[in-house]
Amino acid sequence: MKKVKLVFQDGQTIEGNSFGAYISAAGEVVFNTAMVGYPDSLTDPSYKGQIMVMTFPIVGNYGVPSETEIIDQIEAFMESNQIQVTGLVVSYYSDEFSHWNGFQKLGEWLEKQNIPGIYGVDTRAITKKLREEGSTLGKIIAENDIEFYDPNLDNLVDQVSLKEVKRYNEGAEIKIILIDCGVKNNIVRCFVKRGVEVIRVPWNYDYSTLAYDGLFISNGPGDPTLCDVTIENLKKSLTEDKPIFGICLGNQLVGLAAGASTFKLKYGHRSHNQPVVMAGTKRCFITSQNHGFALDDSKLPDGWETYFSNLNDGTCEGIRHKEKPFFTVQFHPEAMGGPVDTEFLFDEFINEIKKYKGELV
In a domain, 259, yes or no: yes
Q: Is 248 a catalytic residue?
A: yes
Domain boundary residue, one of 131, 153, 175 = 153
Determine if the peptide bond prior to 337 is cis (ω within 30°). Answer: yes
Asked if 110 contacts 19 with a C-beta cutoff of 8 angstroms, the reply is yes
The DSSP secondary-structure symbol of 300 reads P
In a domain, 204, yes or no: yes
Same domain for 286 and 141: no
Q: Which of 248, 269, 291, 321 is catalytic?
A: 248
Q: How many domains does the chain fold into? A: 2
Same domain for 145 and 199: no
Same domain for 253 and 119: no
Domain CATH for 308: 3.40.50.880
Same domain for 196 and 81: no
* CB contact burial 250-276 (16+ within 10 A = b; e otherwise): bbbbbbbbbebebeeeebbbbbbebeb
Asked if 203 contacts 180 with a C-beta cutoff of 8 angstroms, the reply is yes
Q: Is 164 a catalytic residue?
A: no
Asked if 343 contacts 334 with a C-beta cutoff of 8 angstroms, the reply is yes
- The neighbour count for residue 281, using CB atoms within 10 Å, is 7
Same domain for 73 and 58: yes
In a domain, 246, yes or no: yes
Same domain for 190 and 94: no
In a domain, 361, yes or no: no
In a domain, 241, yes or no: yes
Distance CA 298, CA 315 (A): 9
- The neighbour count for residue 81, using CB atoms within 10 Å, is 15
Range of the domain at 168: 156-356
- Cα–Cα distances (Å) from 331 to 63, 109, 218, in that order, read 27, 28, 11
Q: List the 284-296 sheet strands across, edge first.
A: 166-168, 197-202, 175-180, 214-217, 244-247, 326-329, 316-321, 304-310, 261-278, 284-296
Domain boundary residue, one of 101, 136, 153 = 153
Along the 361 residues of the chain, how does pLDDT read in single tens digits? 899 999 999 999 999 999 999 999 999 999 999 999 999 999 999 999 999 999 999 999 999 999 999 999 999 999 999 999 999 999 999 999 999 999 999 999 999 999 999 999 999 999 999 999 999 999 999 999 999 999 999 999 999 999 999 999 999 999 999 999 999 999 999 999 999 999 999 999 999 999 999 999 999 999 999 999 999 999 999 999 999 999 999 999 999 999 999 999 999 999 999 999 999 999 999 999 999 999 999 989 999 999 999 999 999 999 999 999 999 999 999 999 999 999 999 999 999 999 999 987 6
Annotated binding-site positions for L-glutamine: 46, 220, 222, 249, 252, 290, 292-293
In a domain, 242, yes or no: yes
Same domain for 181 and 113: no
In a domain, 12, yes or no: yes
Residue type, 164: E
- CA dihedral defined by 266, 271, 272, 278, rounded to 10 degrees? 10
Distance CA 187, CA 241 (A): 23
Asked if 248 contacts 220 with a C-beta cutoff of 8 angstroms, the reply is yes
Angle at which helices 228-237 and 249-258 cross, to 10°:
60
State the maximum Cα–Cα separation within the chain, in Å, rounded to a whole number. 66
- Cα–Cα distances (Å) from 223 to 25, 125, 250, in that order, read 21, 27, 12
* Per-residue model confidence (pLDDT) at position 361: 63
Same domain for 285 and 168: yes
Which residues lie closer than 8 Å to 283 by C-beta, 6 or more apart? Answer: 277
Domain CATH for 48: 3.50.30.20
Which residues lie closer than 8 Å to 3 by C-beta, 6 or more apart? Answer: 15, 16, 17, 18
In a domain, 212, yes or no: yes
Same domain for 218 and 143: no
Same domain for 220 and 141: no
Distance CA 188, CA 334 (A): 9
Same domain for 258 and 148: no
pTM, two decimal places? 0.97
Domain boundary residue, one of 153, 185, 212 = 153
Same domain for 171 and 131: no
Distance CA 275, CA 273 (A): 6
Annotated binding-site positions: 46, 220, 222, 249, 252, 290, 292-293
Q: Which of 28, 75, 79, 334 is catalytic?
A: 334
